[in-house]
């Protein structure tokens, strides 16, 4: 719980008469963005559950649609079914990337720029959603076959017209979408907004 502090002191976590760690000033902002990540995680796993229940061993839905439809698929590769490296490296890189995103979310949560914080929150929710599912399905497979082989459920499909270069867009899920949107927001901030903020900060320092 929080201990009582003097007016100019930061609140501290306390248990009994022991003072533990100081509560960071950006902790509340971090929790706010963390709730966004948790929301993405819940939506992602709920939609994967629906896809498993209603689409597994069934034709795609709606059956009359050929451009956009939902179809169950088990993805043992990277996001958007991209095959590049072994599953061990996919899981390790996913774990490292998730830790890095948590660090940057903590960093941007305390700033005034909301766009990168939103981006990091979406990336964290999507990355963590896929990572959790890979570990769950991997340990389940290892219990049955002795081989750790985790996968994520993909169910969103696009078929491009034949005259376009792309024959078929890889099947994906809500987590992949959240990661893509989050990266897009971060790139927009880095290209269009961050240079302006750096220029404004430099001008204010020179003015002082």
**Catalytic residue IDs:** 154, 176
Asked whether the beta carbons of 52 and 71 are under 8 A apart, the reply is no
Q: Which two tokens stand for residue 91?
A: 């899981």
Q: Which two tokens stand for residue 132?
A: 């959790």
Burial bucket for residue 208 (CB in 10 Å: 0-12, 13-18, 19+): exposed
- Give dist(CA 177, CA 182) in Å, integer: 8
> What are the C-alpha distances in Å from 17 to residues 6, 9, 38?
16, 17, 34
- Give dist(CA 80, CA 171) in Å, integer: 6
Strands 152-159 and 12-15: unpaired
């Amino acid at each position: 719980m929080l201990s009582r502090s003097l007016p100019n002191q930061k609140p501290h976590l306390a248990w009994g008469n022991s003072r533990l760690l100081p509560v960071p000033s950006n902790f509340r902002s971090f929790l706010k963005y963390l709730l966004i990540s948790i929301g993405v995680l819940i939506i992602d796993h709920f939609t994967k559950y629906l896809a498993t229940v209603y689409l597994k061993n069934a034709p795609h839905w709606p059956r009359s649609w050929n451009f956009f439809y939902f179809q169950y698929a088990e993805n043992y590769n990277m996001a958007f079914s991209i095959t590049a490296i072994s599953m061990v490296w996919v899981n390790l890189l996913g774990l490292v990337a998730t830790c890095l995103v948590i660090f940057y979310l903590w960093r941007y949560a305390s700033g005034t720029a909301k766009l990168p914080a939103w981006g990091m929150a979406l990336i964290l929710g999507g990355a963590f959603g896929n990572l959790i599912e890979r570990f769950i399905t991997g340990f389940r497979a290892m219990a049955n076959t002795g081989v750790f082989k985790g996968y994520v459920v993909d169910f969103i499909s696009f078929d491009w017209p034949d005259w376009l270069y792309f024959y078929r867009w890889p099947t994906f899920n809500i987590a992949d979408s959240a990661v893509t949107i989050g990266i897009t927001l971060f790139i927009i901030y880095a290209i269009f907004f961050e240079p302006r903020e750096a220029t404004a900060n430099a001008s204010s320092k020179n003015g002082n």
